[in-house]
Amino acid sequence: MRGRKVLVDTSVAFTVIDQSEDTWIAAGKQSFTMKRKGVTVNLVDCYIAILANENKCAVLTLDEHFKSIVKFIKIDLMPQH
């Protein structure tokens, strides 16, 4: 039962954002465009970036791929402390 409480408490701390009908398509196109330019980033990271862009959200991540992604997709990366 304790695990459920942690999940409920965590869900209150975050805002759930929704995808558009074309979010996955845009992520696939962006991944393909980046790969053609020699930058390989997995589809899920592109999806997160596209979703953040669509919703005007900053991304907090330790994933180094996002340093490459920001050169292609306009998103803000939150500083890591």
Residue pLDDT, tens place only, 1-34: 565 666 666 667 777 788 888 999 999 999 999 9
Instruction: pLDDT band for 59, please (50, 70, 90 cuts).
Output: very high
Phi, psi at residue 3, to the nearest 5°? Answer: -60, -40
Handedness of CA 72, 73, 74, 78 (dihedral sign): negative
Class of 20-81 per CATH? alpha beta
DSSP annotation of 33 reads: H
Phi, psi at residue 48, to the nearest 5°? Answer: -60, -45
Tokens linked to 43: 């589809």
Instruction: pLDDT band for 80, please (50, 70, 90 cuts).
Output: confident
In this prediction, residues 32-58 reach a mean pLDDT of 94
Mean pLDDT score of the chain? 87
Residue 73 burial (CB count, 10 A) = 21
